Amino acid sequence: MIKIDGETLAVENVVNIARHYEKVTLNDKAIEKIKRSRTVVENLVKENKTIYGLNTGFGELSKEKISSLHVEELQRNLIRSHSCGVGAPLPTEIVRAIMVLRANSLAKGFSGIRAEPVNLLIDMLNKRIHPVIPEKGSLGASGDLIPLAHMALAMIGEGTVNYKNEIYDANIGFEKAGLNACNLTTKEGLALINGTQLMTAIGCLSLFDANVLLKNAQIAACMSLEALKGTDQAFRKEIHDVRPHMGQKICARNLWKITRHSEIIDSHKDCTKVQDAYTLRCMPQVIGASIDVCNYVSNILFTEINSATDNPLIFSDTNESLSGGNFHGQPIAFSLDFLGLAIAEIGNFSERRIARLIDSNLSGLPPFLTENSGLNSGFMLPQYVAAALASENKILCHPASCDSIPSSANKEDHVSMGAISGLKLLKILENVEHIIAIEFLTSAQAIEFHKPLKPSDGDIVALKAIRNRVPRLLKDRPMSKDIETIFKLIKNGTLIRSVEEVIGELE
């Protein structure tokens, strides 16, 4: 059970709730903060002051004052009018991450909402009833308005939900789950949709996957290094102590740990080769830079996860409603674009090692890693796939955050496009996971040409994990299934765990 309080939710908590259905509850102190904030809203309404979001229209229509007789209708109309997203439904794990992130932001007690809608969000999570949310439509300021409106639409008993893998009208789904829709009152519709939770949800899940991918990439790179008879001396501590970027030092320590006790490396210590190609020699510097980006993004996400991101904000200490722009997604948009670039570069790096492994002029191994080349094409075509994916990523790396199209009659005249940054990032990640899967298969095939010499302690375990699921390529066969098999090993962390059981935990 994870207690949310608006202050301490971590990326790992979000992943556990989104993917592993961990239960959620509201912290008692959070409930008190929510109640205090709500009292301020109710007092302001009684004073009949004109306050944005309480008794006005929205965006450019904020100059229109709304009668107290229509404040509930105003909130319903807000949700209905904003529920105009298009595209495929978001995956359930992203929807669940959105829900818990929105609940956590509201739990800070600066949104003026009652506890009832927050508790409904939590009940929906715990009973696994998920709003159907189209993936496209957010500009990333005033937050992820349109996706969050589809979430809120389900909460008022409209729209559609996914319950037990079936799609229902929300009111029917709620009935089956034993829940009741809620009636929104002053400020509550706006409080539910004003926030950065779509882009932040994608950020949390992608960051977790990126960290898993980076460990896999380091193992695959070491297998390629051994197959290409590269040296481990470029990973020595002395080199990295004099250029002490944290990610570089972490990567060098990991690579050194993975490559211990290698008969293959020992066999060519006195060869005539002076130094390796950059994709082998510079692994700590390149992969380490991506590790540094992940750490930067982690700090940004932790702050955003535990922030109040709607407008106006309600301050119970001073009984004020203050309008600002905490819904603007620029910090997250930059971070997701940056993370996409850092992960794409891991794919570029890996593809060049794959190309080197299959080129007999560079590798000293049989052409395309097959003993009957010509009759068999071996690993020629998997490199095509890796190249295609790397090329696609170069297009996807164009930053969405450098664009802005004004909206709401120029009231909202600069937006972050952070949701687009996030959707691109998901594609980049999947592409690179497939590239690393191809490197694992290619390096496994290559390393076996060095028998009877044994690879390092780490790489021999990785090789065994691969061979337990995919046999050596002795003659041509369709390899799509092989690639997907290793892709799954990367995604679920199985290969990492196998290696860590023998050499210790990778950083």
* Residues annotated as catalytic (active site), given as ranges: 52
C-alpha to C-alpha distance for 198 and 110, rounded to whole angstroms = 20
| Burial grade of 270 (CB within 10 A; 0-12, 13-18, 19 or more) | exposed
Tokens representing residue 301 in the block? 């996400």
Q: How many CB atoms lie within 10 A of CB 176?
A: 14
Residues facing 322 on adjacent strands: 313
Q: Of all helices (H) and strands (E), which one includes residue 130? A: strand 129-131
Do the bridges between strand 160-163 and strand 129-131 make them parallel or antiparallel, or are there none, so unpaired? Answer: antiparallel
Contact 197, 244 (CB under 8 A): no
Residues 6+ apart with CB under 8 A from 334: 399, 401
Residue type, 183: N
Give a three-class secondary structure readout of 285-346.
HHHHHHHHHHHHHHHHHHHHHCCCCCCCEEECCCCEEECCCCCCCHHHHHHHHHHHHHHHHH
How many H-runs (helices) and E-runs (strands) does the chain carry? 21, 9
Count of CA atoms in the C-beta half-sphere (13 A) of 194 = 29
How big is the CA angle at 338 (ends 336 and 344), to the nearest 5 degrees? 100
Tokens representing residue 408 in the block? 């709401």
C-alpha to C-alpha distance for 357 and 355, rounded to whole angstroms = 5
Under DSSP, is residue 86 helix (H, G, I), strand (E, B) or coil? strand
C-alpha to C-alpha distance for 348 and 353, rounded to whole angstroms = 9
Q: Tokens 């450098």: give the residue.
A: 402
- Alpha-carbon 79 to chain mean position: 27
Contact 113, 223 (CB under 8 A): no
Tokens representing residue 306 in the block? 């535990």
Sign of the torsion angle spanned by Cα atoms 444, 447, 451, 452 = negative
Do the bridges between strand 166-169 and strand 160-163 make them parallel or antiparallel, or are there none, so unpaired? Answer: antiparallel
- Alpha-carbon 313 to chain mean position: 28
